[in-house]
Amino acid sequence: MATVGFLGLGIMGKAMAANLVNAGFDVTVWNRNPEKCKELEALGARSAASPKEVAAHCDITFAMVSDPEAALDICQGENGVAAGIGEGRGYIDMSTVDDATSQTIAETITQAGGRFLEAPVSGTKKPAEDGTLIILAAGDKSLYDDATPAFDVMGKMAPFLGEVGQGANMKLVVNMMMGGMLSIFSEGMALGLKSGLTGDQILDVVSAGAIANPMFAGKGAMMLAENYSTSFPLKHMQKDMRLAVSLGDKLDLPLPTAATANESFKQALKAGFGDEDITAIYKVVK
């Protein structure tokens, strides 16, 4: 079994790395705050002092960090992944970034002799814990094949989407739709409650019709309970909405609904809800 590294032990990364350890993989972890490595060490992982050290030790190194800036930071520089990757080893960035950032990372890794795959995920905290993420892979096909056993542990589906950039684009498409849906759902819930309907009445009718979906059921219950405990931080959704609208600009494709939803998330961010769950957009609407 391949030795694997995991960089970034936030809400998502910690759960994904834990699943790899529990499945019997030889896992080495790194996090900017080393305190977060202790929980993984207790499960049987070892920790390293830098991304470079992880990449130099492992056959395949995975990364799950917050944004394009963080993704570039752990890849580049004297202690970055590229400095340690070596000939033939693999680097798989599972962070949500734009296609241009992904291309830059791919070039950096391949110039250093490594193989690169982007593999952003669709899913939040519970799918990460349950190993039921949807993994959107694109890039080096041989690395995809080598990583399939690990993908099978972390996710329920891992389509290969082609050239680097297509995984990033697919993730932005999915999250743009999710953000837009959550924005209008928040408005619908607020309108229904203000007009005298009960939350249970609204959710019962929505769940029986054509627009029923797991997100409305789960997030609707959270809204009614005023529970904004973080599964997917609102600040990350706003970042994804911004990247999606920017991709539309680059492709000369108007995205008026996404742009409007992005403004609602920006308003929630300005109100101080960035570290709360994406459901906190409801607090701005209501």
Whether 171 is catalytic is yes
Asked whether the domain spanning 168-285 has the same topology as the one spanning 3-164, the reply is no
Tokens of 243: 């990247």
At the fourth CATH level, the homologous superfamily of domain 3-164 is NAD(P)-binding Rossmann-like Domain (3.40.50.720)
| Candidate list 14, 171, 219, 283, residue with the active-site label | 171
Judged by phi (left if over 0) then psi (alpha if -120 to 50, else beta), residue 279 lies in alpha
Q: Where are the domains of the chain?
A: 3-164, 168-285
Give the pLDDT score at 87.
85
Dist CA 59 CA 146 (whole Å): 10
Positions of the chain with pLDDT under 70: none
Has domain 168-285 been given CATH number 1.10.1040.10?
A: yes
Q: pTM for the whole thing?
A: 0.91
| Element housing 47 (H / E) | strand 46-47
**137 beta partners:** 160
Give the pLDDT score at 1.
74
Give the pLDDT score at 2.
83
Give the pLDDT score at 80.
97
- Averaged pLDDT score across all residues of the chain: 96
CB 283 within 8 A of CB 225: no
